[in-house]
Amino acid sequence: MLHDRETPRALRPSEQVERLRTTYEGAWGPEVLQVMVDEFPGEVALVSSFGAEAAVLLHMAAEVDRDLPVLLVDTLMLFQETLDYQKTLSAHLGLRNVQHIRPNPVDLARADPAGTLHQRDTDSCCDIRKVLPLERALEPYSVLISGRKRYQAATRAKLEVFEADGERLKVNPLAGWSASDLRTYMDVNELPRHPLVAQGYPSIGCAPCTTRVAPGEDPRAGRWRGTDKVECGIHFGADGRILRAS
Protein backbone atom coordinates (compact mmCIF):
# COMPACT_ATOMS: atom_id res chain seq x y z
CA MET A 1 0.00 0.00 0.00
CA LEU A 2 1.17 3.54 -0.75
CA HIS A 3 0.66 4.76 2.78
CA ASP A 4 2.84 2.05 4.33
CA ARG A 5 6.01 3.99 3.47
CA GLU A 6 7.91 5.60 6.30
CA THR A 7 7.03 9.26 6.96
CA PRO A 8 9.48 11.77 8.50
CA ARG A 9 7.10 13.07 11.18
CA ALA A 10 9.63 15.58 12.49
CA LEU A 11 8.73 17.75 9.49
CA ARG A 12 5.53 19.78 9.23
CA PRO A 13 3.19 18.74 6.38
CA SER A 14 4.01 21.92 4.45
CA GLU A 15 7.70 20.97 4.54
CA GLN A 16 7.06 17.60 2.90
CA VAL A 17 5.84 18.77 -0.50
CA GLU A 18 8.79 17.48 -2.52
CA ARG A 19 8.74 14.08 -0.77
CA LEU A 20 5.02 13.74 -1.40
CA ARG A 21 5.33 14.76 -5.04
CA THR A 22 8.09 12.22 -5.62
CA THR A 23 6.58 9.37 -3.64
CA TYR A 24 2.97 9.66 -4.79
CA GLU A 25 3.32 11.05 -8.30
CA GLY A 26 0.55 9.58 -10.44
CA ALA A 27 -1.39 8.17 -7.49
CA TRP A 28 -5.14 7.72 -7.94
CA GLY A 29 -7.32 10.30 -6.16
CA PRO A 30 -8.61 7.96 -3.41
CA GLU A 31 -5.05 6.79 -2.74
CA VAL A 32 -3.94 10.38 -2.21
CA LEU A 33 -6.76 10.92 0.27
CA GLN A 34 -5.91 7.71 2.11
CA VAL A 35 -2.27 8.75 2.34
CA MET A 36 -3.19 12.11 3.86
CA VAL A 37 -5.52 10.59 6.46
CA ASP A 38 -2.97 7.94 7.40
CA GLU A 39 0.11 10.18 7.49
CA PHE A 40 -1.50 13.19 9.16
CA PRO A 41 -4.26 11.85 11.44
CA GLY A 42 -6.49 14.56 12.87
CA GLU A 43 -4.78 17.26 10.79
CA VAL A 44 -6.81 16.98 7.58
CA ALA A 45 -9.90 18.90 6.46
CA LEU A 46 -11.63 18.93 3.08
CA VAL A 47 -13.11 22.16 1.75
CA SER A 48 -16.06 21.72 -0.59
CA SER A 49 -18.46 24.13 -2.28
CA PHE A 50 -20.95 21.29 -2.89
CA GLY A 51 -20.96 22.63 -6.42
CA ALA A 52 -21.21 21.13 -9.88
CA GLU A 53 -18.33 18.63 -9.55
CA ALA A 54 -18.08 18.30 -5.78
CA ALA A 55 -19.66 14.85 -5.61
CA VAL A 56 -16.55 13.14 -7.03
CA LEU A 57 -14.09 14.20 -4.33
CA LEU A 58 -16.73 13.85 -1.60
CA HIS A 59 -17.48 10.30 -2.72
CA MET A 60 -13.78 9.47 -2.52
CA ALA A 61 -13.59 11.04 0.93
CA ALA A 62 -16.57 9.02 2.13
CA GLU A 63 -14.85 5.85 0.94
CA VAL A 64 -11.79 6.72 3.03
CA ASP A 65 -13.32 8.26 6.17
CA ARG A 66 -16.94 9.39 6.56
CA ASP A 67 -15.95 11.37 9.67
CA LEU A 68 -13.41 13.49 7.79
CA PRO A 69 -14.16 17.18 8.46
CA VAL A 70 -15.85 18.65 5.37
CA LEU A 71 -16.02 22.45 5.43
CA LEU A 72 -18.69 24.22 3.39
CA VAL A 73 -18.14 27.97 3.24
CA ASP A 74 -21.73 29.13 3.64
CA THR A 75 -21.57 32.80 2.65
CA LEU A 76 -25.27 33.29 3.45
CA MET A 77 -25.62 34.07 -0.25
CA LEU A 78 -25.51 30.54 -1.69
CA PHE A 79 -28.24 29.27 -3.98
CA GLN A 80 -30.96 27.44 -2.07
CA GLU A 81 -30.34 24.61 -4.53
CA THR A 82 -26.78 24.32 -3.21
CA LEU A 83 -27.94 24.10 0.40
CA ASP A 84 -30.51 21.47 -0.54
CA TYR A 85 -27.92 19.56 -2.57
CA GLN A 86 -25.55 19.55 0.40
CA LYS A 87 -28.15 17.75 2.47
CA THR A 88 -29.03 15.30 -0.30
CA LEU A 89 -25.43 14.46 -1.21
CA SER A 90 -24.26 14.21 2.40
CA ALA A 91 -27.04 11.76 3.20
CA HIS A 92 -26.34 9.78 0.03
CA LEU A 93 -22.65 9.43 0.87
CA GLY A 94 -23.08 9.03 4.62
CA LEU A 95 -20.88 12.03 5.45
CA ARG A 96 -20.98 12.58 9.20
CA ASN A 97 -18.93 15.73 9.74
CA VAL A 98 -20.07 18.46 7.34
CA GLN A 99 -19.56 21.89 8.90
CA HIS A 100 -21.14 25.13 7.65
CA ILE A 101 -18.55 27.90 7.90
CA ARG A 102 -20.34 31.26 8.03
CA PRO A 103 -19.14 34.87 8.12
CA ASN A 104 -18.72 36.65 11.43
CA PRO A 105 -21.90 38.69 12.17
CA VAL A 106 -19.73 41.52 13.49
CA ASP A 107 -17.86 41.70 10.18
CA LEU A 108 -21.13 41.74 8.25
CA ALA A 109 -22.64 44.43 10.44
CA ARG A 110 -19.54 46.56 9.98
CA ALA A 111 -18.87 46.15 6.27
CA ASP A 112 -22.04 44.79 4.65
CA PRO A 113 -25.12 45.55 6.78
CA ALA A 114 -27.42 45.75 3.74
CA GLY A 115 -25.97 42.70 1.98
CA THR A 116 -25.01 44.77 -1.07
CA LEU A 117 -21.22 44.84 -0.80
CA HIS A 118 -20.92 42.43 -3.74
CA GLN A 119 -22.38 45.13 -5.98
CA ARG A 120 -19.60 47.59 -5.09
CA ASP A 121 -16.53 45.55 -4.14
CA THR A 122 -16.53 41.84 -4.95
CA ASP A 123 -13.07 41.28 -3.48
CA SER A 124 -14.07 42.72 -0.10
CA CYS A 125 -17.30 40.73 -0.14
CA CYS A 126 -15.43 37.48 -0.80
CA ASP A 127 -12.92 38.38 1.87
CA ILE A 128 -15.57 38.85 4.56
CA ARG A 129 -17.85 36.02 3.51
CA LYS A 130 -15.31 33.41 2.37
CA VAL A 131 -11.65 34.06 3.07
CA LEU A 132 -11.78 35.19 6.70
CA PRO A 133 -14.33 32.57 7.86
CA LEU A 134 -12.33 29.79 6.22
CA GLU A 135 -9.04 31.01 7.70
CA ARG A 136 -10.58 30.82 11.16
CA ALA A 137 -12.10 27.39 10.53
CA LEU A 138 -8.80 25.98 9.23
CA GLU A 139 -6.74 26.96 12.26
CA PRO A 140 -6.81 23.40 13.76
CA TYR A 141 -5.76 21.78 10.48
CA SER A 142 -2.38 21.60 8.76
CA VAL A 143 -3.60 19.77 5.64
CA LEU A 144 -6.31 21.15 3.34
CA ILE A 145 -7.94 18.99 0.66
CA SER A 146 -9.21 20.95 -2.34
CA GLY A 147 -11.26 19.93 -5.38
CA ARG A 148 -9.51 22.24 -7.87
CA LYS A 149 -8.56 20.96 -11.34
CA ARG A 150 -6.18 22.30 -13.97
CA TYR A 151 -8.74 22.39 -16.75
CA GLN A 152 -11.07 24.75 -14.88
CA ALA A 153 -9.27 28.04 -15.56
CA ALA A 154 -6.02 29.54 -16.79
CA THR A 155 -5.15 30.42 -13.18
CA ARG A 156 -5.19 26.69 -12.38
CA ALA A 157 -3.38 25.35 -15.45
CA LYS A 158 -0.16 24.56 -13.54
CA LEU A 159 -1.86 23.24 -10.43
CA GLU A 160 0.14 20.62 -8.51
CA VAL A 161 -1.37 17.76 -6.52
CA PHE A 162 0.71 18.86 -3.51
CA GLU A 163 1.34 22.54 -2.69
CA ALA A 164 2.83 24.39 0.24
CA ASP A 165 0.45 27.19 1.24
CA GLY A 166 2.29 29.03 3.99
CA GLU A 167 2.41 26.71 7.00
CA ARG A 168 -0.29 24.48 5.53
CA LEU A 169 -0.13 21.65 2.99
CA LYS A 170 -2.73 21.99 0.26
CA VAL A 171 -3.66 18.82 -1.61
CA ASN A 172 -5.55 18.69 -4.93
CA PRO A 173 -6.23 14.98 -5.60
CA LEU A 174 -8.15 15.73 -8.82
CA ALA A 175 -5.71 18.27 -10.26
CA GLY A 176 -5.15 16.30 -13.46
CA TRP A 177 -8.73 15.15 -14.01
CA SER A 178 -10.70 16.32 -17.04
CA ALA A 179 -14.39 17.17 -17.25
CA SER A 180 -14.91 13.85 -19.02
CA ASP A 181 -13.14 11.96 -16.20
CA LEU A 182 -15.47 13.59 -13.67
CA ARG A 183 -18.63 12.82 -15.64
CA THR A 184 -17.58 9.20 -16.08
CA TYR A 185 -16.85 8.83 -12.36
CA MET A 186 -20.22 10.31 -11.45
CA ASP A 187 -22.01 8.04 -13.91
CA VAL A 188 -20.23 4.87 -12.78
CA ASN A 189 -20.89 5.62 -9.10
CA GLU A 190 -24.43 6.92 -9.73
CA LEU A 191 -23.79 10.16 -7.87
CA PRO A 192 -26.56 12.78 -7.65
CA ARG A 193 -25.97 15.94 -9.69
CA HIS A 194 -26.30 19.50 -8.49
CA PRO A 195 -29.72 20.57 -9.85
CA LEU A 196 -28.36 23.82 -11.31
CA VAL A 197 -25.99 22.02 -13.69
CA ALA A 198 -28.89 21.02 -15.93
CA GLN A 199 -29.97 24.68 -15.97
CA GLY A 200 -26.69 25.90 -17.46
CA TYR A 201 -24.49 26.43 -14.42
CA PRO A 202 -21.26 24.38 -14.81
CA SER A 203 -19.59 26.38 -12.01
CA ILE A 204 -21.65 27.47 -9.02
CA GLY A 205 -20.82 30.08 -6.42
CA CYS A 206 -22.92 32.68 -4.64
CA ALA A 207 -26.29 33.44 -6.23
CA PRO A 208 -25.71 37.19 -6.84
CA CYS A 209 -22.36 36.58 -8.57
CA THR A 210 -23.11 33.49 -10.68
CA THR A 211 -24.84 33.41 -14.06
CA ARG A 212 -25.60 30.75 -16.64
CA VAL A 213 -22.86 29.83 -19.10
CA ALA A 214 -23.51 29.69 -22.84
CA PRO A 215 -22.33 26.76 -24.98
CA GLY A 216 -18.65 27.17 -25.86
CA GLU A 217 -17.86 29.52 -22.97
CA ASP A 218 -15.30 28.74 -20.28
CA PRO A 219 -16.98 26.74 -17.50
CA ARG A 220 -16.21 29.57 -15.05
CA ALA A 221 -17.38 32.36 -17.35
CA GLY A 222 -20.50 32.76 -15.25
CA ARG A 223 -18.55 33.64 -12.12
CA TRP A 224 -18.35 37.41 -11.53
CA ARG A 225 -19.41 37.99 -15.13
CA GLY A 226 -18.44 41.37 -16.53
CA THR A 227 -15.40 41.74 -14.26
CA ASP A 228 -11.78 40.58 -14.43
CA LYS A 229 -12.20 38.61 -11.22
CA VAL A 230 -11.60 34.86 -11.63
CA GLU A 231 -10.99 33.58 -8.09
CA CYS A 232 -12.76 34.27 -4.80
CA GLY A 233 -9.52 34.65 -2.83
CA ILE A 234 -9.55 31.36 -0.94
CA HIS A 235 -6.88 30.01 -3.28
CA PHE A 236 -5.54 33.09 -5.08
CA GLY A 237 -5.00 36.72 -4.22
CA ALA A 238 -5.92 39.71 -6.37
CA ASP A 239 -2.53 39.51 -8.12
CA GLY A 240 -3.16 35.93 -9.21
CA ARG A 241 -0.60 34.38 -6.88
CA ILE A 242 -1.43 31.53 -4.53
CA LEU A 243 -2.31 33.00 -1.15
CA ARG A 244 0.12 32.45 1.69
CA ALA A 245 -1.19 32.02 5.17
CA SER A 246 -0.01 34.68 7.61
Respond yes or no: is residue 232 known to be catalytic: yes
Tell whether 16 is in a known binding site: no
SS3 state of residue 165 = strand
Cβ atoms < 10 Å from Cβ of 30: 15
SS3 state of residue 41 = coil
Tell whether 209 is in a known binding site: yes
Residue 132's closest CA among 155, 105, 159, 156?
A: 105
Tell whether 80 is in a known binding site: no
Q: Which of 56, 62, 204, 232 is catalytic?
A: 232
How far apart are the C-alpha atoms of 243 and 232, rounded to whole Å? 11
Q: 158-191 burial, b if ≥16 CB within 10 A, otherwise e?
A: ebebbbbbeebbbbbbbbebeeeebeebbeeeeb
Tell whether 206 is in a known binding site: yes
Question: Vertex 230, ends 227 and 236: CA angle to 5°?
Answer: 135
Residues noted as catalytic: 232
Binding annotation for [4Fe-4S] cluster: 125-126, 206, 209
Q: Which residues carry a binding-site annotation?
A: 125-126, 206, 209
